[in-house]
Structure formats: structure tokens, C-alpha cells
A and B are shown apart, each in its own frame.
Chain A
């Protein structure tokens, strides 16, 4: 029942907050949300501690009949690929609740409830083993996110909310058809049965394409990425954190759970194409990030570039590549979350995100600057940070696959260093740029705590990633063995 607790504790708390909080002062609501999110996080911890690293099968499985008419089951379970994301989602949820503490003053209960419900739904996506259950969770996440962007977002929030919703819906509706097609072919919505469903190459390519639309939009992969910068710029800090840290991973996770095992031949066949798109994301989008004037937009583009590493790793079909991709996903969850928090900290004080409005922040916010520099370093993949581990593994796998692909991917490290450090230089260093910067105050205890916790995670993963890889490894090997067997 651990997974059910992980899903439903935040959702139930969200509903309680929604009902209880509408007419009460917001401080009680905040503590309630904090309590709920911590409880939800604690509920996920047994998943890691009691995880059996010797098997690649699904663990903590729960299965109940849900809609008998179509043989849809409430079927949950995690393996090495998904377990970390369940924990990560619950963890980020705490950060988001804390980040909103003094910042959000309008409709606090609705804000917190949206995030609590969103967190539960996303855990549902990561742990669903039934295709339709997955889809319901996957789609339902759109509703709270739409509200979050639209109500608490920036000036252009309505455009961003619509773009987010419709873009994602476009992809997922095609996926729905693919799910129904698979159901029709196998008479079940069970994902693990689908893995062994015999499909000819045309079917596989069509199914792969349908899934690709949904997941590539979500990741997002070039050229379907244009929604992400717009949405990030308008979303409130918490929204950006969840979006970058968790929501993007839903797409990448989908590749591993659906595309590769269900359509292995199509994945092999179209692999080079995906690798090409990933390389474009890594290099071209990296270059685009370089010229951004808005900090959030810069980090958004850097997210796309980093997610390019993830998809690149997946479609190299080597253990190193896929594990590197997964590590990169987890690490990016911490780093991008921290980057958006840092930008949020600045935005709360200055109400601007334009890089040109800053300069010399370090003189007024030394503690903050330490964290920001550290996160920027992690973002460009400095050894001993988590950013390094994933990217290095993927680059190794890429060199193994083809030297030139490895070389191209490696250039991205330089680009990453360029845009991250250049931004840090313009924002933090130099002389104090203007009066507003002069009046800045350093981060308070709450902000310090959030940044410190995230920094510890980044360091820990960078220095000693073994606990992560140990859990991931068996599942990845199993996946690759499965993909290697042609369905034709």
C-alpha cells in the first residue's frame, strides 16, 4: 500500500486544504500543507529503504479491478527506473510548499492545494502499471498546472497557460489512440503484457510515433519545445520548479516505460532520428540559451538542452547511456529546481528577471551568491556535482556508439559552462549596478534551508552516486535485454 499512500496522502491533503482553507487565515493552511507534504515524503521513503536491488521486476505492487468493462486495473508498482522519481516528486513538493511560504499571498489555499494534488497525480504517473491509469494521471496533471500558471503567473500568463495545456493535450490525445490500439490488439491495458505483445514493424512505428508526440512534447524535444520557455517565464516560482524538476521527466519516463519496450524495433529503427533531435537540442538550444536576456528563459532553454542529454542517452541502447539519462533526470530535478528557486528569490526582491537589471548582487547577498554559483557550476556539469555524473555517463556511451556523436555531445558541456557562468558573472559579480541592487537583503533562514538541502542532494549525488545506480542498474539491464529481442 506504500504507493497508494504516496499518491493519495498529498491529494487528500490537497482536498482538505481546498475545503478547509477557503475562509480561514492562510498561516494554518501553510502548516497543514507542510505537514501533508512531509507526511507524503515520509510515506515514499520505504520505497528506497525496502527496495530489493536483486530483482528487475516490479515491486510494491498493488492491483485492484477499476473499470471491469475494459479490464482497466488500479495497478501500481515501481522498478529501479521509476522509484527515484516517486521520491523526488514528494521531495520537490515540500520545497514548493516552503518556497511559497511568504511569497504567495493571494488565494493561498488554492495555490497549495493545486500543488499537493499535482504532486499526488505525478507520483501516480510514475507508479502506474496500467496504460489507462497512466493516461488518466498523465492528463489530470494538466488541470492543476493550468490553474497554477493562469492564476499566479506573470503578465502573459493566460497565453502561457493555454499554450501549455493545448500543446500537451495534442500529444496525449494521439497517445490515447495508441493505447486503445494496443488494448484492441491484446485485450488488456496491462503495460507489462504490452511489452510482450507481438507487433509488426508498421504497427510499431505508428505506435512509437503516437507515443513520441506525447512524450517529446513533454520532455520537450526540439522542435516541439517552444512552449516551455513561454510557460517558464510566466509561471510562478513553484510552478517553474515542479515543471522543470518533475513534469519534464514524465515524458522521458514515458520513453522508457512505453516506447522502448513496446516498440523495440521501431525504437532501434528510429533511434538515429531521435539521437539527431537530441543533438540539435543539446547544441542549438544551448546556443539559444546563451543569448537570453531573461534569467528564467535562460534556465528554461538550458533545461531543454539537459533533457536532450537524457533522450540522447536513452536511444544509444547501452546500459551506460540509459543509466546516465536517468541519473541526469534526477540530478536535473535538483539543479533546475534550485536554479528556479534562486531566480525566484531575486524576483521576489527586485520584481524583474532581466539579467541587465542586475550586477554585483554578491556584495549585498553573499550567502545567496554562494548557492547560486554552486548551482550554476552544477548546471554546467562540474565534477563532484550531480550534473557531472549523468552527462559524463551519457558522453561515454555516446563515444562508444560513435565518436562524432560523443564529440558533439561533449561540446554541449562547454556551451553549458558558457551560458551558466556568463549569467552568473553578469548577475552576481562586478560593481553594484543600481539602487535596487544596493537595497537587496540576503536570503532568510527559510530560503537558506531550501537551497542548502538541494545543494546537499546535488553534492551527495555528485560524490557518491552509487546508491542511485545500484537501484537503477538491474531494471535498466532488464530493459535492454528486452529491447534487444526483436518482436518481428
Chain B
């Protein structure tokens, strides 16, 4: 390993080493005896080992996230003999993933403590999932991509299964694991076909080989279908979306947040690496598939969400529909504007997702999960500020100005109209019209209905403060989206130039 490799890989190495070290250290921390029921009583009564790991993880994420953010302007660079690439896109997505995990951990602390899940292994698994994401995002070789993907997936399977005593959680974990393994199999099979035809695992080599007209097109197309299926599964788009609602609903909300937020960024990276960086010459083959996936996701996701009474399940269908929008941004051929629109969409969607699940967690308390629509009834009466934050999130997801969700939809639609897919744009807005209904319903229960029970906000002042900032960010980025849009465009431009 050369010095340059070390510099490029340093953040990932630090995550890996710190995660291992924190895990080991936590074993040696002397615990205060727990209360009789085996659960911690108060925030200050948490297991000290877990506390150490938690605080260590927060510092780590803050530092690493900043390092990645500072690296965004750097030119693309390859390391480890072309296995690993650090281009602006990778740095942006990795930075966003780190901060997403940081915020997730801040939101979920009290939730985890209340449910006896505040344990070192939870946090370490989350860190490993992040490491997997980073590797995946930076993958420049099919093997690296797969390695990162599996590391991320295996860690999240473990996280979903953490609540052993809960049947629903266990069921969700089983479903997630089996279907996820199947999808990985699809992806791997598709990759093996690519390898078979092109003789290389390196993304650039494959790109060159695919661009050659003498390539065996039939096998490539077969491989592409399998890769698309695997990708669609990881993104959670129709018709490979079945796991999403069950896992979102079944997993503890803290884990749902970990699955719903940062991994979407990783999935976006995978999509970009495979379709744009590698298989761009097969454009005419993957484009119709992408259109099908996107349209089906938007329509089925939005229509099915209407029937949900569980907010987590509703947000799952909403995620399916939103991912359809991201796919729409990827339709154009080598167009930095369109791709940057999709990137902007993915990043801002992650921001909104963080807020919405954080919101649900702060409204939960020990022995009670806030996850049905009814549990939000009359929130405005007791906690007007919280209700307002919920309102901002819902209107952002629905894409109503002046929230960031509108800016994101605007940029994707603009890219579509620009690429002369006006009909698709009309389908997309009609699907969002349907979607507006169920987002409005959440606002309705918070504002128009009488409360069914006393609401209670848990969580520390810090987590409430961060949630407030998060919601304000949704609003402010909606009013002034220019800077972030420019950043996304720059990143995409530099990435495409280097790639």
C-alpha cells in the first residue's frame, strides 16, 4: 500500500479501526448495576460502555464527515490499483452519510435507552454499515462495490434483528435478510455476466469494452437485466419493493431511520456507478427499464400509501415513490444537469427522512411507539411547534413550495422536460398529486383533529434542538436552494469530467 492510497483511504480506515476499538474498549468499562427489570432508568443511568461508544461515535462521525466535506472540491483520484475511487460525488455522498448517521444517533438515543437497545453493538453495527456505505460509494471495481454493499447489508440485517423479543422485528429481519440475499445474488449473477463478456471487473475497463460494438450484446443485456433487478431491490422500487413496507414498519424506529436515510445515498451511488460510470453505452437498453421502474414506483407507491394507517408504513410507500423520482433524474444520457438534479433530490430527501423519523421517535416514549396516524391526533393543541415541524416535513415530502421538496421536484422535472420527456413529467406530477393526499392527511390529524391522548416529547434538549434545526433547514433550503444546487452541479460536473 502506497502513501497516496493511505491518504485517500484514511477516513475509511479510521472508521474501521475506531469501530473495532470502541467495541473492544466497551467490554472493559465497568458497568453500574442495572435496575431490576434489566433496563436503564434514566439517560444518566445508561450502560457506561454504550455511553462511551456512543460519544466516541459522535465525535468520529463529526470529524470524518467534516473531512469528507472538505475533500469535495478535490479532483477525482484512484487508489488501491484502481479498486477505490474518491471523486467529488463520493466525497459528497460520504460526507452526507456520516452526518446523516450522526443526526440519526442523536435522535435515537432516548428511544434506544427506553427500549434497552442502547448497547455498544448497536452503535458499532451502525458504524460498520456506514463503512460499507463508504466503500460502496467509492467502489471503482465490481468487487469493491459488492464488498461495500454486503458489509452495509449484513450490518443492517443485524440491526433490524436487534430486538429479539419482538416478533414483528424478527419477522422483518428475516424478510429483509432473505430478500436482500436474493437481490445480492441477482446483482452478483449480473456482474458475473459482465465479467464473462468483458473480461474485467474494473468499471473503466468494462466501460471501454461495452463501448466496443463487437461485444456480445445478448449476454450483456441479460447481465444488465439482473443488475437492474438487484439495483431496483436495493433502491426499493416497484416491482422489487415488497420488503420496504414490512421492514420499515417492523424494525424499531431508530433502525428504520438508519435504513431509510443514509442507505438511499449509497443506493444512488451504486446506481450512478453501474449505469452511468459503467454501462452508459447500453443506454438504450437500460433506459426503458428505468422508465418502467420509475413510473411504477411513483404510481404504486403513492396510491398504496393512501391506504396506510401506520405512519412508518406510509413513509415506506412514500420512499418507494420518491425513489421513482430519483430514477427519473437518471434517465438522461451523460447530462450533468439531470444527474445533479437526481443527486439534489436524493440528498434533500435524506434530510427530510431524517426529520420525519426523528419526529416520530421524539414523540415515542417508553413502552409506546408513536407510529399510527391516530397517535398524532391533535398534536397542534399540545405542541404547536412540533406540529409545525411535522407540517413542514409533510409539505416537503409532498413537494409544495416553499419547502426543499419542491426545489427537488422542480429540478428533476426540469431535467425531464429538458430531455423532452414531457409526458413522463406529467405522469410524475399527477402521481405527486395523489401523494399530496396522504401527506395532507398527516397534517390533518395533527391540526384538525382533537387529541386522543396526552402527547409527550421524550429526548434531550439537544435532540429537540437538532430536530428544530433540521426542520428549519427543510424550509430554508426550500427558499434558498441555490447554493446546494450549485454544489450538486459542480460535483456532478467534476465527477463526469474525471470519469
Interface residue range, chain A: 35 or more
Assembled-state Cα–Cα distance A22/B402 (Å): 23
Assembled-state Cα–Cα distance A221/B400 (Å): 24
Assembled-state Cα–Cα distance A22/B387 (Å): 13
Q: Are A139 and B444 in contact (CB under 8 A)?
A: no
Assembled-state Cα–Cα distance A146/B400 (Å): 12
Q: Which residues of A contact B402 (CB under 8 A)?
A: 136, 140
Whether A350 is near chain B, meaning CB under 8 Å from some CB there, is no
Given known pairs A151-B447, A161-B444, A173-B432, the reply for A181 and B417 (CB within 8 Å) is: yes
Q: Are A69 and B489 in contact (CB under 8 A)?
A: yes
Whether B75 is near chain A, meaning CB under 8 Å from some CB there, is no
Q: Are A169 and B448 in contact (CB under 8 A)?
A: no
Query: Contact partner of A181 among B388, B395, B422, B433, CB < 8 A?
Result: B422
Is chain B's binding surface mostly helix, strand, loop or mixed? helix
Closest to B426 in A: A177
Whether A174 is near chain B, meaning CB under 8 Å from some CB there, is yes
Q: Are A68 and B486 in contact (CB under 8 A)?
A: yes
Query: Contact partner of A146 among B426, B440, B482, CB < 8 A?
Result: B440
Whether A67 is near chain B, meaning CB under 8 Å from some CB there, is yes
Assembled-state Cα–Cα distance A183/B414 (Å): 9
Q: Are A67 and B482 in contact (CB under 8 A)?
A: yes
Q: Are B485 and A169 in contact (CB under 8 A)?
A: no
Q: Which residues of A contact B481 (CB under 8 A)?
A: 67
Q: Which residues of B contact A169 (CB under 8 A)?
A: 400, 433, 436
Q: Which residues of B contact A67 (CB under 8 A)?
A: 407, 480-482, 485
Which residues from 273 to 290 on chain A have a C-beta closer than 8 Å to any C-beta of chain B? none
Q: Are A68 and B482 in contact (CB under 8 A)?
A: yes
Q: Are B401 and A140 in contact (CB under 8 A)?
A: yes
Assembled-state Cα–Cα distance A67/B489 (Å): 13
Q: Are B448 and A174 in contact (CB under 8 A)?
A: no
Name the residue among B418, B448, B481 with the largest chain A CB count within 10 angstroms. B448
Whether A374 is near chain B, meaning CB under 8 Å from some CB there, is no
Instruction: Return the CB mask of B394-434 against A: 1 if under 8 Å, else 0.
Output: 01000011100011001101100110001001100110110
Min distance, Cβ B395 to any Cβ of chain A, angstroms? 6
Instruction: Return the CB mask of A154-191 against B: 1 if under 8 Å, else 0.
Output: 00011001100110011001101100110110000000
Whether B82 is near chain A, meaning CB under 8 Å from some CB there, is no
Q: Which residues of A contact B486 (CB under 8 A)?
A: 68-69
Which residues from 384 to 439 on chain A have a C-beta closer than 8 Å to any C-beta of chain B? none
Assembled-state Cα–Cα distance A317/B414 (Å): 33
Q: Which residues of B contact A18 (CB under 8 A)?
A: 388
Assembled-state Cα–Cα distance A132/B406 (Å): 11
Whether A269 is near chain B, meaning CB under 8 Å from some CB there, is no
Q: Which residues of B contact A157 (CB under 8 A)?
A: 448
Assembled-state Cα–Cα distance A139/B391 (Å): 15
Query: Contact partner of A136 among B401, B425, B485, CB < 8 A?
Result: B401
Whether A103 is near chain B, meaning CB under 8 Å from some CB there, is no
Q: Are A158 and B448 in contact (CB under 8 A)?
A: yes
Q: Which residues of A contact B440 (CB under 8 A)?
A: 146, 161-162, 165-166
Interface residues, chain B, with chain A CB atoms under 8 Å away: 380, 384-385, 388, 391, 395, 400-402, 406-407, 410-411, 413-414, 417-418, 422, 425-426, 429-430, 432-433, 436-437, 440, 443-444, 447-448, 480-482, 485-486, 489
What are 6 of the A-B contact pairs (CB < 8 Å)?
A: A67-B485, A110-B380, A135-B401, A169-B400, A173-B430, A176-B410
| Other A-B pairs beyond A170-B433, A174-B426, A177-B426, 13, CB < 8 Å | A18-B388, A67-B481, A68-B482, A140-B400, A150-B443, A151-B380, A157-B448, A161-B440, A165-B436, A165-B440, A173-B433, A176-B413, A177-B425
